[in-house]
A and B are shown apart, each in its own frame.
Chain A
């Protein structure tokens, strides 16, 4: 991507993002949200966020890797467990990074 195209992309992404943020704060009381859309929107966070994170873990080495040798997958599962139990963002970050560093250190000594 050349520089003008890149800036076009950045500004376009910014405009789209602002429109989403502003949408209902601006429109409340002026338009009715279609009930189908409202129902569908309820599933967007869970679906999108999971669809972002899963490939980052499963394809950590560039190709599909489903084994204990995939350090990022294991560390991600540990972090998910910590997050599920504690609901704490800092603990999830610290736990996940510590697990990854530990696995990497073990991997290097073996």
Chain B
């Protein structure tokens, strides 16, 4: 049985394989795998574009933020802070704290990109998002995608996300007020965060970190200079570390 299928593959392979290069195939496989996630990204991007317009941002400024920052959660927080009159330093510091999680992804993806030239590392880093990370790391760690296909698979995923994000931002900017007022689509923001936060709570210590940060965030809104988010996150991290130290480090 197995030998006959092997023979079949050997007969059919020369007909199909040369037409598409492996790099191309990996690129489109990555883009295709991310399609369901793009459906969830669309309303998020719409909400960002609409919120930006509603807060007095021009279309170029909104798109500029989507191109240069390319991280939805941080972008929305930045918009809210800027319209609340926060200083440049506080906005950038908040973006830094919200995006600190990218260093975790960076640690985890680094071994897979280690052999690549510097410009490839830079290009793939630019495309590092929650979605791109989540969609590729499991495959890479399981060895389902091998070098030299990893970079193409990851780039396909990243570019599909990037394009969706920019298009959704522009559509949100142009639909503007209609989107935000008529349908409460800005509520997509907290919903996206719920969907991101819950899987981040993996065990007791991360649960305590989240709980402490959540409780602190209710009271931290009173902090000056819009430093509430940073303060609450810090309390959460400290609570997690404290629990870990008190209960012993054995658990993961």
Contacts and interface: CB of A to CB of B under 8 A. Distances in A.
B209 interface: yes
B194 A80 contact: yes
B217 A93 contact: no
Contacts of B220: 51
B221 A53 contact: no
Contact of A83 (B69, B198, B202): B198
Interface in B212-240: 212-214, 216-218, 220-221, 228-229, 232-237, 239-240
A47 B88 contact: no
A38 B240 CA distance: 13
B102 interface: yes
Given A11-B68, A79-B191, A46 B216 contact: no
A43 B77 contact: no
Contacts, number: 252
Nearest to A66: B218
Interface of B: 36-37, 39-40, 43, 57, 61, 64-65, 67-71, 73-74, 77-78, 82, 85, 88, 91-92, 95-107, 109-111, 113-114, 118, 121-122, 124-126, 128, 183-185, 187-202, 205-207, 209-214, 216-218, 220-221, 228-229, 232-237, 239-241, 244
Given A42-B104, A97-B191, 20 more contacts: A10-B69, A12-B88, A16-B92, A17-B102, A20-B106, A22-B125, A25-B121, A26-B122, A28-B107, A43-B240, A45-B200, A47-B235, A50-B213, A50-B236, A55-B221, A83-B195, A90-B40, A97-B185, A97-B187, A100-B187
